[in-house]
């Protein structure tokens, strides 16, 4: 990322080596294209993951943002450039389908906080902030952006068929509470 700072991305495959020019091409994809190679379970899983992301994620984001009227369900922030479709059941799990009832539109900070269990949502749509974070003293992002969201209600989609699944929320909230 910059000298002496690396981000590991794996598994990856060496796709091409050019010894003359000291050049190595590392590929994160195309594992399925290796004709002379029987993919391992890890490689198959990775290839499926990449395919799933490529095919389903843009559609998922579009569906979820539309359902939530392009606003963060926690803080109502309205700029699409800074909004994500957060998964309730993680997409790395077998049941983490890219369906609107498995998503919530969230701004970047609330999405990251939700993924890392700093912020939870109960099955009855109440926002909970991690106890350690509630007791911390820091600047305006912590105070207004997170602590003041505690015990407020999320803004769910108008259409009931698009609202987040209570079963998924319950399972996810149990993981948040166990932290």
- Please, what is the minimum distance in Å from the beta carbon of residue 66 to Zn ion? 17
- Please, what is the minimum distance in Å from the beta carbon of residue 39 to Zn ion? 40
- Please, what is the minimum distance in Å from the beta carbon of residue 149 to Zn ion? 8
Binding range to Zn ion, per CB under 5 A, among 10-18, 50-58, 108-116, 118-126: 108-116
Binding range to Zn ion, per CB under 5 A, among 7-15, 68-76, 95-103, 151-159: 68-76
Considering the rule CB under 5 A, would residue 64 count as an interface residue with Zn ion? no
Considering the rule CB under 5 A, would residue 110 count as an interface residue with Zn ion? yes
- Please, what is the minimum distance in Å from the beta carbon of residue 127 to Zn ion? 10
> Quick one: which of 31, 64, 67, 74 contacts Zn ion (CB under 5 A)?
74
> Quick one: which of 31, 64, 67, 72 contacts Zn ion (CB under 5 A)?
72
Long-range contacts of 50-57 (CB under 8 A, 24+ apart): 52/91, 52/98, 53/91, 56/91, 56/98, 57/91, 57/98
Phi, psi of 153 (to 5 degrees): -95, 145
Site size for Zn ion (CB under 5 A): 6
Instruction: Give the ranges where the chain is alpha helix by DSSP (H).
Output: 41-67, 108-115, 131-134, 140, 166-177
- From the centroid of its chain, how far is CA 169? 15
Contacts of 68 (CB under 8 A, 6+ apart): 104, 105, 155, 157
Binding range to Zn ion, per CB under 5 A, among 7-15, 17-25, 75-83, 171-179: 75-83
- Please, what is the minimum distance in Å from the beta carbon of residue 84 to Zn ion? 10
Phi, psi of 173 (to 5 degrees): -70, -30
Binding range to Zn ion, per CB under 5 A, among 30-38, 60-68, 99-107, 168-176: 99-107
Q: For residues 107 and 99, give the distance between their C-alpha atoms in angstroms, rounded to a whole number.
A: 19
Cβ(13)–Cβ(31) below 8 Å: yes
Considering the rule CB under 5 A, would residue 121 count as an interface residue with Zn ion? no
Place of tokens 């594992």: 31
Please give the residue ranges that form the binding site for Zn ion (CB under 5 A): 72, 74-75, 77, 107, 110
């Amino acid at each position: 990322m910059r000298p002496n700072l690396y981000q590991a991305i794996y598994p990856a495959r060496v796709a091409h080596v050019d010894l003359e020019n000291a050049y190595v091409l590392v590929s994160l994809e195309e594992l399925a294209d290796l004709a002379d190679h029987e993919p391992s379970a890890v490689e198959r899983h990775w290839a499926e993951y990449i395919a799933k992301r490529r095919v389903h994620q843009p559609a998922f984001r579009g569906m979820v943002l539309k359902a939530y009227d392009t606003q963060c369900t926690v803080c109502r922030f309205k700029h699409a450039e800074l909004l994500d479709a957060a998964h309730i059941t993680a997409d790395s799990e077998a049941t983490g389908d890219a369906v609107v009832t498995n998503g919530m539109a969230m701004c970047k900070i609330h999405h990251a906080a939700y993924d890392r269990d700093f912020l939870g949502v109960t099955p009855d749509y109440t926002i909970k902030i991690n106890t350690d974070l509630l007791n911390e003293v820091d600047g305006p992002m912590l105070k207004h952006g997170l602590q003041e969201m505690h015990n407020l209600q999320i803004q769910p989609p108008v259409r009931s068929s698009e609202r987040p699944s209570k079963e998924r929320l319950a399972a996810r909230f149990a993981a948040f509470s166990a932290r």
